[in-house]
Structure formats: structure tokens, C-alpha cells
Structure 1
């Protein structure tokens, strides 16, 4: 296991016209954070110098052109481009979107090559990143293509974890997308990530219904009776502690969520509205199920406050520390598994 300060956190800079640059600066202005990791910001020294001046940051960057030039214990900026970038806070700009994608692609390449240990992504604008060469709804879908595994959006805070059966899918398509295979796949992904990424030995998982009141015995749709219930019974019979489907409208208000290690919602807003209501500013988006670790804050570009110096960095800082904790937990899990296999081999 690496020393804490030698764990390299790659950071994709996101939309430079949003609050991403500000929350990155604020996070690493606290020198104590550098005792736990070494950050590498994938951007350009010119762009970061502009942000540093604008926000009156006292960070001294270590500018590098190659990942092998990283200096541990410093805030490194890896130049992904050299030309000047016109940053106009609060403005949606397709050129800025191109730089956000350059940063993400370079950071992802470094993650795949093990040149960085974890990736934390600053917010992007899902509209201005679209092009013929990049056609993904967001980070999660792109990373799912680039990295091995079955990706799942898992929103995480101290005592609450919410995963999604479907994420960036129009509401009209949700019921069509949900199948027995998808439910099994997503539950297995959540189960495995609770074991190895969060050190929960016997995970207890709740699943929310697809329809209001889980269909009211077919009065408001048949999907919960025809697909959800039989699939959950099959999974529970296999030995996993999986419960549901629960009616989503009362599940969080009744505090029932506190009885579970994770909750799986059927669609985006069903899970993220209660999650953000309960934890906004402290939550983290973790892409579970991949062979690499990626986290992000639970907010977007926030154009309306960009450049004003009032953005709250806590969610981004939590994303950094969550990535570090998961990195350590995975290492411990792999060591434990390896030792168990060795012991089993000796007995044979």
C-alpha cells in the first residue's frame, strides 16, 4: 500500500466557465489535504494561473508536461493544451466544452494506465460537451465504455447510499428499460461494491418500486408485480439481503432508509431528489462497479454563481476523501481475499 501522500488523485477540470475550478482551488488551499494525497489537475498552466489570480488563491502549482514529472506533496497541473483559453464565468460555451473533454480524456487515459490512482471529476455541462467524437450523456456513460465492469451511479454520504437502476434516461423510457436482467445486474453491482469498497460484510439493500405505490396491485401499472417482485424474490432466495419493492413516496420520509446499507431507486429523480434533499453539499457521486475509482461532487456547473468566489467546496472535498477511502478499502479487500486463497491452498 502506498504512503498516503503518494496516492495520486487525478482531477479533470470540468467546465472552466462553471464553479469547478473554484472548488478545486479551495479544496487544495488547505495544505493538510496534501498529507493524504498528491493531486494532478488535468488542464493547462495558463488556465489555472487565470483561476488562481481571479480567486486570489495562494496555491503554488507544479506545472508538468508529463505524468512522470509529478512531485509528491505538491498541487500538480498537467498541461493538456498550451493555447490560451477565454474563460467567461457563467457562459455556456462549446469551445469550453471541448477543453472539458480534453481534460477528461487525458485523465481517463492516465487512470487506465495506472499513472493516477483515482479520478475525481469537476462538473461538466452535458450540452456543450456533445460532438461527433464525444456523444455521451455524461461522465458515467463515458467511463463505463472506457473502463472494465458494469457501471452504476451510486450517490454516497456518511449514512446514506443511493444507487440507480436507470440513470440519464427520459422518464417515458424508464419502464421499458427495466428488466429482470438489469435489476439483477445492478443489485449485484451494489452488493459487490458494499463488500469491497465500503467494508460491509453482510449488505442489506432496499429497492424502490417502479410505479407509484408499487403499482397498487396493477391499478397503476403491472411492472412491479410482473418484473420487480419475482426478480427480488429470486435474488433474496440466493442468499442476499434484498428487500422491496418499497413505495418511494413514503420510504425516505418515514426514515426507513436508515435500516439499509444502500437503496436502489428505479430512476434518476426518484433517488436523487431525496438524496440531495438530505445531504446537499456533502454528497458524492461514485461510479460503482468499475475496475477503477471515480468520484465527483453532487452538484453541477452552477453558472449562476460562477466566478463570484462563493461556491461551497465541501462536496468536492468529500469526493476526494471518498475516493481515497475506497482506494484503501479495495486494497484491504484484495489483501484479505489473497490471504484467504493462500490459506485455502495450504489446507489443500
Structure 2
């Protein structure tokens, strides 16, 4: 189990299948004892294999336990209509079913981790799937309320207190309890998943100048500072976001937590445009993903960069090894 990794196809009309096959080409060059299971429609796999002119060995399987004889295995879904470069109802449904299949396999402890290819929120909507993203699907299917969206790289580790909600709802969503829970999940993940023994976490403010002692909003005084004080050590802030990044203070901490999506995603992606990794902390299963979207505009052209999904795979291996070590 510890050497078996799942990969979902993501939105089949985006770059997910392409970057996955490019990654497999790279991974199959090594004589590893690991096994890879790609959950994808067979016709989509064949389309991208032909597009990229790939001739690596693989086996089509119907059960994840069959994967022991080949390094690469295609867990074939039903053939699906391709409309490369365009989000569709079909592509949304396939992405969703691919993810659900991976979750079922992981919950039955038949694989170590899943690396999920990018999906489209619009495709999900077309397919009638009422989730803003894969993170929320994973949390629901794992019956986990205390989860956290993290972003991993060598330059910076970031986390979000709130995820896919409008800016106007951020303040109302923040509470001392929510922040305390998110910080605790982050601390535990840094220790157990990433092997950082005494992590130092920085917390950003919500308002300009981090509220300026209540002159520009009271969320820092009423919510953020009380949550930080409950930890006593390891957790610092709230920091003024623009000065924090302008002075490169993130280098002094093992992780930084922002109050809303773009507060940390803009600097994170500026630092890690091609190799950032999305990780869902707090789940009983391990999931990583490339930190980019479906890139419909370049889908099917054979020019997509697979660096980020390679990083996602490497972090999945690291997290899996750390969890296996702590459990063993």
C-alpha cells in the first residue's frame, strides 16, 4: 500500500490528462518499486498517448489490487466524449467520478495517496455537482469538518483560514473557534505530514495595516489575536500582509496563514508559478494537487508544463512516508 499512488484525470477537456501522461513518462524511466494507478476513461488516455507519441508499458485494470504486475496501471472509466479546451457537463461528471473512485480506494487503504489533476468549477456546475472545488468534496466524503487548504513549496508553505467564499463573507466567517481549529490543523500537519518538529507559524491580519489597533476594523482585536494567544508559542502575529511579504518575513517561519484566498495565493504563486502544490490537511487520506487550473486555452496542444504535478507527486510521497513512519 505504501508504494501505490493514485492519479485522477481531472477535467478531461483541460490539461490534466496531458500533464499526467508526461509525468508517467518521467516516472517510468526509473526502476522503482512504486505502482501508479491512473483513473481515467480509456479513450482519453489513448487520445493523449497518441498526441504525445508515448509508447510506455501499462496495464488496463478493473480493480486497484490488480496493479502489482505493472508499474503503470490504467483504471479505466467508461469512454467519455472529448471537447478539448471547453468545459462540459461530461467533463465535470468524469472529473467528479474519478475523484470519488480515488477516495473509495484510499478509504479502503489500498493505496497511499492521490494526486488530483485540475478540475473546473464551471464543469461541475454544468454536471449539477454542487461543490466549489475538490477540497470540499474530499472533506465531505471523508466526513471531516476540521480540514485546511495548504500550499506547499520549498520557498514558502501557506494556508488559508477561509477558502472559496466571496470577500464580503470573509469577516463574518472568521471566528476565534474557526481560527483556533485551522491553526491547530496546520500545526499538526507541519509536524506529522512534513516532519517539522517545532514549527513556527505566522498569521496575517485581515484589514489594511492589520487593523491598526482597531482603527481600521476590529477583526484583529476581537478574533485573530485571541486565537493566537491560545497557543502561547509557535504561533505569531497578526502581521501586516503587505509589509510581511515585502520584507520577506515569510522566510523566518515554517508556514504563513492568511485570512482569505488571494491574501496568500498571490505571493505564493508569484514565488512558485510552475511548482506549487495544493495539499488538503486534516484528512484521514492524503491528497495533493498541482497548484494551477485546467488551462483550457492550451489544452490539447501538447505544450503544458508538468512541473507542478511532479512536485505534487513528490510531496505525496513525502507525506505518505512521514505518516507511515508515525503510524509504524
Task: Tell me whether the two structures share a fold, i.e. TM-score over 0.5.
Answer: yes
Aligned to 2:170: 174
State which drifts further: 210-219 or 11-20.
Answer: 210-219
Within 5 Å, give how 1:161-240 maps onto structure 2: 161-236=157-232, 240=233
Q: Is the 8 A contact 2:81 2:90 kept in 1?
A: no
Q: Is the 8 A contact 1:13 1:122 kept in 2?
A: yes
Aligned to 1:289: 282
Q: Is the 8 A contact 2:155 2:271 kept in 1?
A: no
Aligned to 2:94: 99
Within 5 Å, give how 1:1-348 maps onto structure 2: 7-30=3-26, 31-32=28-29, 35=32, 37-81=34-78, 84-130=79-125, 134-149=129-144, 150-236=146-232, 240-335=233-328
Q: Distance in 2 between matches of 1:265 and 1:217?
A: 18
Quote the offset at 1:298 in angstroms: 0.5
| Closer, same or farther: CA 25–196 of 1 in aligned 2, 3 Å | same
Q: Could you state the TM-score of these two structures normalised by the residue count of structure 2?
A: 0.95
Secondary structure of the 1:98 match is helix
| Closer, same or farther: CA 216–188 of 1 in aligned 2, 3 Å | same
Q: Distance in 2 between matches of 1:245 and 1:262?
A: 13
Q: Is the 8 A contact 1:43 1:78 kept in 2?
A: yes
Q: Is the 8 A contact 1:162 1:264 kept in 2?
A: yes
Quote the offset at 1:148 in angstroms: 5.0
Secondary structure of the 1:207 match is strand
Q: Distance in 1 between matches of 2:320 and 2:133?
A: 23
Q: Distance in 2 between matches of 1:33 and 1:146?
A: 34
State which drifts further: 263-272 or 325-334.
Answer: 325-334
Q: Is the 8 A contact 1:94 1:128 kept in 2?
A: yes
Q: Is the 8 A contact 2:277 2:289 kept in 1?
A: yes
Q: Distance in 2 between matches of 1:153 and 1:221?
A: 25
Q: Distance in 2 between matches of 1:314 and 1:180?
A: 38
Secondary structure of the 2:262 match is helix
Q: Is the 8 A contact 1:34 1:73 kept in 2?
A: no
Q: Distance in 1 between matches of 2:127 and 2:9?
A: 21
Secondary structure of the 2:325 match is helix
Aligned Cα root-mean-square deviation (Å): 1.6
State which drifts further: 108-117 or 259-268.
Answer: 108-117
